[in-house]
A and B are shown apart, each in its own frame.
Chain A
Amino acid sequence: MTANAAQAAVSAATEYVLEVSGVIKTFPGVKALDEVSFDVKPGEVHALVGENGAGKSTLMKVLAGNYKPDGGTIRHMGEPVRHNNPLEAKERGILLIHQELSLVSELSVAENIYLGSMPLKSFGRVDWRMLNEKTNRVLKDMHCSFRASDIVGSLSIAKQQMVEIARADAFHCNVVIFDEPTASLTDQEKEALFETIRKLKAQDVGIVYISHKMSEIFEITDRITVLRDGKTQGTMNTADTDADDITHRMIGRSLDSYFERAESEPGDELLRVEGLTITGLIDDISFDIRAGEVVGMYGLVGAGRSEVAETIFGIRKPDAGTIFWRGQPQQITSPKAAMKLGIGLVPEDRKGQGLVLGMGGRDNTTLPLVNELNVFGFMQRGRETALFDKYKKSLQIRTTGPKQPVVNLSGGNQQKFVIAKWLATEPKLLILDEPTRGIDVGSKSEIHKLIARLAEEGLAVLVISSEMPEIMGISQRILTMCEGRLTGDFSHSDVTENKLLNAASPQD
């Protein structure tokens, strides 16, 4: 069905493209969705907000055919539907862009977009010319800078996301669901995404938008539905409400401050890097961090920030340059060596580098400590459980118990375990790479407070974030990177958004 025909059908039957009523979904030990109802009009952007574990992703997966609901009804263009799998949903016109991207990185852009429904010639051969032409047309419409034949794995996260969105165009979808789409995007990339969303909107596509970032929600959405503990807490017009009201409905209390900066006076120099270089990735990076100091690092995706962090942590080998720890030059050849000095790294990629997904929360929390938390090789379950309980409480992690495999947790709660495991090592220097990605406003402010408090006790912190308010709100000093080089070093008292943006953008 084409978008136009779909449109006609909508107006004939109902004013909604999507109506959800009384949907229930239970997992062992958790009622993730408890009679949820909400609806989406054509041409509107409908925000879905709620704490980590509130049930947002679950609801969207039910809509997109990934899960079957235990009860309730879903109407798509007035017709009750029950998808058996995501392809069915997509062919009906409902597309979910996942919290975790779901592309095949070895395949080309075109293959990814049309996976499962490639144009064919006789004898089942793929019609490559047609495939690439079709894809390039879609990409051109979206002003993408990459081509149909590019391999997805070689693209940045932002571009990969554009590939996912291109599917919406390609399949003439009239419901597109974005699950935390901007979590890995910089502000500029976000603007490009919003441009795309506005275009979809103009084509009368109904859009569901999940995000933990209030500013985005108030910028792009028309209505907001709040989800709490699997139940809807009402739907409002975005124009009639404000961030405080939404926050209050989400977490049941108001937040006095979103950010908190450590008040500590930085102490002695802890880490200094001089001339750190990895050919093609980072170029002549020099800076230092003192005990008790919170240093932010801002830059566009691909600027080389994560590579700097990984080099300091011994995951990457530098081609040139020296790392000094308390003034002494060090050879940090493995994470283990870095940990011995007292360095921890909360990695950007929680599923790849952060967690053992099949393990429980407790064992993940204590993984960096396996060699400490044992007597004659036997793990000390009591101490492990104590650590688990401590961080479960202080980071407000929603899990059914120490053994619940983290693969079954919501994205934000998984992220909290990545933070927990590195806090548990009690490092001297903690490097956080996009630490609050996917974490709800309430917990986020708790984590910021925690970082400030630890810094005041002498912890040195290097925070990499693409979120400007976060970087500006919690750092005492901000470094900027652009195309592998360090381009700025600002004190928090004289930094402005514009200065940061300028320093982080390529000058040509």
Chain B
Amino acid sequence: MDALIKRMNLPDLARQQGILIAFVIFLVVVALNSDTFLTIGNVLQVLRQVSIVGTMALGVTFVVLSGRLDLSVGSMLSLTTVVVVGLHDKIGPGPAILVALLVGLLVGAVNGILIGYVRLNSLIVTLGMLSALQGVTLIYTGGKNVGIADPDATWFAIFGRGYFLDVPVPVWIFLGGALVLGVVLAKTAYGRQIYAVGGNEVASSASGINAKRIVFSAYVLSGLTVAVAAVILGSRVMGSQNNVGQGYELQVLAGIILGGTSLLGGSGTILKTVIGITILGFIKNGLLLLGFAYYVQWLVTWGVIIGAVWLDVASKRGSLFE
């Protein structure tokens, strides 16, 4: 296999895109076994399914690029979803969305202050936030599920259920957000500073960059994208359990890693995140279409991530094993 990797002598680009190649093979295999897999309807369906995780991943990508982690996004999704759904009937959709966004920003800001300014370890802070928010969510709902009384009578439905030009609105939100944030990251001074801080925080500070503020802002952004995802989720389901977001933090990270963004910070793009998240979505969908049980996707996802990371390392050092 080692010799094979070397002998394949693929152009550099292709070798770096090993994940993509493996994915294309997967697509072909599934498509040969399923008539519906590569239909436009199914593709849009997959995109809609990944739009919630994907939207969250956009903000988390900023956090990861700045050299940190955010494990609290799943709990944050639970909280902001019950907030937006729970308030919908009480204060109306507009104000409910606003409050949810503010909650997202606030939680992000708390993470950001503790990690950016107080300089605590991001793993510990956001792991703590993960469980703290579970508590806050339960306190808010009193343990009961929340719901919207008349789903057909509210314009709130548009975010999760609507279509624009035959494409689901959540897909527009996800891809539109990706476009905007992708441009921010690639073209702006702010994006440059995110990469710089993630690449070398000491050198960035010594170059006059306010690294604390940059880290803080990444968490605020992460909180914001989670709240947007909550609006999609709430609108789609029109109700919410206290733990809807459970496990989302791992899916988000899985997509980011699969796309090829380095967990060490400083290297990666929004496009990579979009690709990683989308691939994960197609794998799950493909497995279901092939008739595998629902839980198989978790195992396969894990395998895919290990495979992707391994292939990446192997192509860098030119052999599968050290």
Instruction: Using CB atoms and an 8 Å cutoff, list the residues of chain A in contact with chain B.
Output: 28, 68, 85, 313, 315, 334-336, 339, 345, 347, 352-359, 363, 367-368, 370-371, 373-374, 377-379, 421
Contact = CB atoms under 8 A, between A and B. Distances in A.
B206 A353 contact: yes
Interface in B87-110: none
Contact of A370 (B202, B209, B318, B322): B209
Contacts of A335: 205-208
A379 B192 contact: yes
A358 B267 contact: yes
19 contacts: A68-B318, A315-B205, A334-B208, A335-B207, A345-B206, A347-B206, A352-B200, A354-B203, A355-B203, A356-B196, A357-B199, A358-B267, A367-B203, A367-B209, A368-B207, A368-B208, A373-B189, A378-B189, A379-B189
B190 interface: yes
B261 interface: no
Nearest to A374: B189
Contacts of A373: 189
Contacts of A68: 318
Contacts of B192: 363, 367, 370, 379
B121 interface: no
Contacts of A356: 195-196, 199-200, 203-204, 266
A379 B188 contact: yes
9 closest pairs, A vs B, by CB? A356-B199, A336-B208, A368-B207, A356-B200, A374-B189, A367-B207, A370-B189, A339-B208, A377-B188
B166 interface: no
A505 B299 CA distance: 66
Contact of B188 (A85, A336, A347, A374): A374
Contact of A357 (B189, B200, B208): B200
Q: Determine the interface band of chain B, counting residues with CB < 8 A from chain A.
A: 20 to 34
B193 interface: yes
Contacts of B189: 370-371, 373-374, 377-379
Given A313-B206, A335-B208, A356-B204, 16 more contacts: A28-B12, A315-B206, A335-B206, A352-B200, A352-B202, A353-B203, A355-B203, A357-B199, A358-B266, A358-B267, A363-B192, A367-B196, A370-B196, A370-B209, A378-B189, A379-B189
Contacts of B195: 356, 359, 363
A356 B192 CA distance: 11
Interface string B309-322: 00000000010001
B210 interface: yes
Contacts of A345: 206
Interface string B191-235: 011011001101111111110000000000000000000000000
A345 B203 CA distance: 11
B7 interface: no
Contacts of A363: 192, 195-196
Nearest to B210: A336
B193 A370 contact: yes
A368 B200 CA distance: 13
Interface in B1-36: 12
With most chain B CB atoms within 10 A of its CB, the pick from A28, A335, A370 is A370
B214 to A, nearest CB: 11
A248 B101 CA distance: 67
B3 to A, nearest CB: 14
B205 A355 contact: no
Nearest to B186: A379
A449 to B, nearest CB: 26
Given A315-B206, A335-B206, A367-B207, A359 B199 contact: yes
Contacts of B196: 356, 359, 363, 367, 370
A359 B193 CA distance: 11
B178 to A, nearest CB: 18
A85 to B, nearest CB: 8
A356 B67 CA distance: 13
B263 to A, nearest CB: 14
A30 to B, nearest CB: 13
Nearest to A370: B189
A379 B187 contact: yes
Nearest to B188: A377
A480 B228 CA distance: 60
A421 B199 contact: no
A345 B195 CA distance: 22
B200 A355 contact: yes
A372 B189 CA distance: 9
Contacts of B193: 370
B288 to A, nearest CB: 38
With most chain A CB atoms within 10 A of its CB, the pick from B188, B189, B204 is B189
A85 B321 CA distance: 12
Nearest to A315: B206
A85 B207 CA distance: 36
Nearest to A340: B208
Given A377-B189, A379-B189, A353 B202 contact: yes
With most chain A CB atoms within 10 A of its CB, the pick from B202, B203, B205 is B203
B161 to A, nearest CB: 35
Interface in B163-189: 187-189
Nearest to B197: A356
A352 B207 CA distance: 12
B118 to A, nearest CB: 17
A334 B210 CA distance: 9
A374 B190 CA distance: 10
With most chain A CB atoms within 10 A of its CB, the pick from B192, B195, B196 is B192
A197 B140 CA distance: 72
A354 to B, nearest CB: 6
Contacts of A358: 199, 266-267
B322 to A, nearest CB: 8
A330 to B, nearest CB: 16
A367 B204 contact: yes
A378 B188 contact: yes
With most chain A CB atoms within 10 A of its CB, the pick from B193, B199, B204 is B199
A421 B207 contact: yes
B237 to A, nearest CB: 37
A352 B203 contact: yes
A377 B194 CA distance: 13
A56 to B, nearest CB: 23
Nearest to A384: B192
A354 B202 CA distance: 8
Nearest to A68: B318
Contacts of B209: 336, 367, 370
B226 to A, nearest CB: 24
Contacts of A354: 203, 206
A352 B199 CA distance: 11
Contacts of B187: 378-379
Contacts of B266: 356, 358-359
A315 B206 CA distance: 7
Nearest to B190: A377
